[in-house]
Structure 1
Amino acid sequence: MSFQQGLSGLNASSKSLDVIGNNVANANTFGAKGARAEFADMYATAMNGTGANNIGIGVNLAAVAQQFSQGNITTTENPLDLAINGAGFFQVANVARDPNAAPDTPPTLASPPLYTRNGQFKVDRNGYIVNNQQQVLLGYMADANGQIAPQQARPIQLPTAGIAPQMTSAIKLEFNVDSRSAVTGPSATNINFNDPTTYNNATSVTVYDRMGQDVAVTYYFQKTAPNTWNVYATANGASLLTSGGNPAPIATVNFPPTSGGNPTAAGGGSIQYFMGGGGTSTDGRVPIDIPATTKADGSTTLPIAGIELNMGGATQYGTVFGVTNLTQNGYAPGQLVGVSIDDSGVIMARFSNGQSKPAAQIELATFRNPQGLQPLGGNAWAATYASGDPTLSTPGSGNMGVLQAGALEESNIDLTAELVNMITAQRNYQANAQTIKTQDQVMQTLVNLR
């Protein structure tokens, strides 16, 4: 008789308990993946494999296999917490910084990328996104225009500068004037912007000069004849166009009945404009220029030339006046107020003027054999020959999972199942110890034979 089987069983049960204990210890570790002890039987055979002894000599630990199933996703209050819903790993790396280098000098990667499912990220003093081990998150940086192109992944650094202003170059004005309205202006010289009885309707929009200073532009609609409307405009209270010292319209919109209420419909009316050299527009686009103006606070705005005013959506129907769309493409300067991350990994910088601009995009990695990754601790794995080379792409593309910001992936360890496995391993340990005890008693019986 041999003690080999029982001893190997004790070792196997002990290692199984070690694996279970590690799983239990990491049940609340975000991004942690459970492991499973896998065993194989052992037989003693002759060198050529023709041994006749079919009695096994025990068990050995074949592998500790990591289980990369999806963990539950829980929401948090931190916008930099990230969870991967699906396949993929975040890429992080240790960096080396030259203490004598300028503060804006990019850090140098001190090691190959490591891979993690733990999305507990923060921002360090230099603006880099890092984890609790101070490893930087890797991805693609956007250029000055917010364009992101796939490139060699590098440490992601959040911007600190604000966004420059943009001068208004296009305005879209979509409105309906009431065909039942009374004629209020038989000529272009009898409008008084302070007297609502001299025009029918008005609406306003804020535009911006090249320094980002706001200019209040108000449009006045005056019906001068059946199906004919004059459009006046003021900038900070001053008329954009004058004639003989009196306000003059910037355009005249004609709504013939055959147009179905739209001046740009086929066979319909037209828009006659009087700025930018004057002319007739059949598509609703007319040029306007805004001169330098003085605001109520005494500041002076810069002139804005060559704005394209699109009134192609104007209509004249028998219903009340209403503006359905009034937009312009300029904005004031803004300061960075926060960041947000979408499901494709694009990091959007949000500014105080309401604008957003891409700052970077996170790159994920997948492996053909993720169980071949080498665990390094600190919620990180390293690529090995067994795992194969990483496949790199952006979240949501190919077989990559998508990101969820403000959330974390919990451990995929089922604590109830692990406790049951622990009881089973304990019973196995006791049973193997019993086989050793029994064989000891048998040997003692043999020794005591007389």
Structure 2
Amino acid sequence: MPFNIGLTGLNAASTDLQVTGHNIANASTAGFKGSRAEFADVFAMSYTGISKTATGSGTRLAAVSQQFTQGDLEFTDNNLDLAINGQGFFILERDGVVEYTRAGQFQLDKDGYVVNSAGQRLQGYATPGLGGPLQDIRLTTGLATPRATTEITALMNLPATAEEPDQPWAWDAAEGVADPDGYNHSTALSVYDSQGLPRTMTLYFRKEPGTTNEWTFYSSLEGDLIAGPETLEFNPDGTLGTGGPFNITHTVTGPNGPENLEFEIDFSNTTQYGERFTVNSLKQDGYASGGLISLDVEADGTVFARFSNGTNRPLGQVALANFDNPQGLRPVGGTNWVETFESGERLLGQAGDSSFGLIQGGAFENSNVNISEQLVKLITAQRNFQANAQVISTADTLTQTIINIR
């Protein structure tokens, strides 16, 4: 009997060593969750046995329990590395097989899908914030679509002390320029047509003769006079009284050209103060097409493509899953788990929801294994193995003593 008891102890200590060694081996594995061996004693006793005199029959492995505590986050230069700070699992799919992971080391494959090192595709939602059916997250970016200018906002100051020009307003259509003696000040900006091509637009301002607070403005676009004269009339306190907004249409000529330009100029914040002409702000809402600069993942899992023209485009949102009993998940290797009856059915959601953590882009979650703690367990398991081996040795000595009785 002591042989069997000692043997169960050896098996238990050996299993403990295996679990501890597995933890240590994966101390640098992203998203790895350490386990612990849990044991229970064994009592071989009949239904009518007397429990207070039972000596027990050793030990057995009750469970290898996974520990889903948070691992440290390690920041990287890869924006597609993702870490969950809190509860939840990434959802992976390949060939109809769905698995779950905390390892967020992702990259793009040749078709633009976000995958892990095993080629499993990260799952998410097509429209951020709206949920819906899960689908593969695919980053097909291309060029950002250009936008034609539709609104110009001018914030400037026209000098109150300005004098009328020496000459009347004059436009040289052949040269596409205005007579500089016919206006006081000018400024220029770029506007964009429907194909995203920049076109230079110039605004001219002229103090009207015989007036105190009245100006006219003209506008040209690449040598064509497209607006003016339009009146800007200021109040005695220097604020704009009447003047716009002004709607301007410019016909674009040429075969296969862009659509006609139609935009509005707003001077409502323009003033007439002091002695200097200043342009504080001259904004327009158009932009050219742009190339992809970077991919960024927000805390809620929304994947943004950022372009060289200053725009960004949401490409989808990473989905998360959670379970009533994560310890019931079955590990399948590759730092992945699958759903089981013990884990319960998955709950789908988005990062930041009540039962889900936040997503950190440009980082991944390290293993939650504490090396110092595991080394102590390693020593303890070794001592247990030696002690149980001593039980077997002692039982052998006793048996030899009985055999040697004459």
TM-score by length of 2: 0.88
- For residue 257 of structure 1, the aligned residue among 233, 236, 242 is 236
Measure the CA separation in 2 of the matches of 1:257 and 1:49: 109
- Where does residue 405 of structure 2 map in the other structure? 449
What is the count of residue pairs matched by the alignment? 400
User: How much does 1:384 deviate?
Assistant: 0.8
Contact 1:184–1:197, Cα closer than 8 Å, also in 2: no
> What is the identity, as a one-letter code, of the residue corresponding to 1:238?
D
Measure the CA separation in 1 of the matches of 2:253 and 2:163: 31
Unaligned runs of 5+ in 1: 96-109, 242-247, 264-268, 274-284
> What is the identity, as a one-letter code, of the residue corresponding to 2:83?
A
Measure the CA separation in 2 of the matches of 1:196 and 1:71: 70
Deviations 1:286-319 (A, max 9, x none): 322233379xxx99765312x1222232233448
User: How much does 1:195 deviate?
Assistant: 6.4
- Where does residue 304 of structure 1 map in the other structure? 261
- Where does residue 213 of structure 2 map in the other structure? 227
- Where does residue 162 of structure 2 map in the other structure? 182
User: How much does 1:402 deviate?
Assistant: 1.8
Deviations 1:394-447 (A, max 9, x none): 222223222222222111111122112111111111111112212222232233
> Secondary structure at 2:52's aligned position in 1?
coil
- Where does residue 394 of structure 1 map in the other structure? 350
2:204 corresponds to 1:207? no
Matches within 5 A, 1:314-393: 314-318=270-274, 320-393=276-349
1:327–1:23 CA distance, 2 compared to 1 (3 A): same
1:299–1:202 CA distance, 2 compared to 1 (3 A): farther
Unaligned runs of 5+ in 2: none
User: How much does 1:375 deviate?
Assistant: 0.3
Measure the CA separation in 2 of the matches of 1:270 and 1:138: 56
Matches within 5 A, 1:28-427: 28-47=28-47, 51-95=51-95, 110-111=96-97, 113-142=98-127, 149-179=130-160, 181-185=161-165, 189=169, 199-224=183-208, 225-241=211-227, 248-249=228-229, 251-258=230-237, 261-263=238-240, 269-271=241-243, 273=244, 285-292=245-252, 302-305=259-262, 307-318=263-274, 320-427=276-383
Contact 1:10–1:433, Cα closer than 8 Å, also in 2: yes
1:256–1:19 CA distance, 2 compared to 1 (3 A): same
> What is the identity, as a one-letter code, of the residue corresponding to 1:164?
T
1:438–1:365 CA distance, 2 compared to 1 (3 A): same
> Secondary structure at 1:52's aligned position in 2?
helix
Measure the CA separation in 2 of the matches of 1:353 and 1:162: 10
Measure the CA separation in 2 of the matches of 1:299 and 1:206: 21
> What is the identity, as a one-letter code, of the residue corresponding to 1:430?
Q
Measure the CA separation in 2 of the matches of 1:383 and 1:255: 72
Measure the CA separation in 1 of the matches of 2:81 and 2:311: 23
> What is the identity, as a one-letter code, of the residue corresponding to 2:201?
V
> Secondary structure at 1:8's aligned position in 2?
helix
Please identify, of 375-384 and 395-404, the stretch whose mean Cα deviation from structure 2 is larger.
395-404
> What is the identity, as a one-letter code, of the residue corresponding to 1:211?
Q
1:448–1:211 CA distance, 2 compared to 1 (3 A): same
> What is the identity, as a one-letter code, of the residue corresponding to 2:107?
K
Q: Percent identity?
A: 41
> What is the identity, as a one-letter code, of the residue corresponding to 2:195?
M
Measure the CA separation in 2 of the matches of 1:299 and 1:229: 38
Contact 1:44–1:51, Cα closer than 8 Å, also in 2: no
User: How much does 1:374 deviate?
Assistant: 0.5
- Where does residue 23 of structure 2 map in the other structure? 23
User: How much does 1:376 deviate?
Assistant: 0.3
1:38–1:202 CA distance, 2 compared to 1 (3 A): farther
> What is the identity, as a one-letter code, of the residue corresponding to 2:99?
L
1:437–1:318 CA distance, 2 compared to 1 (3 A): farther
Contact 1:341–1:348, Cα closer than 8 Å, also in 2: yes
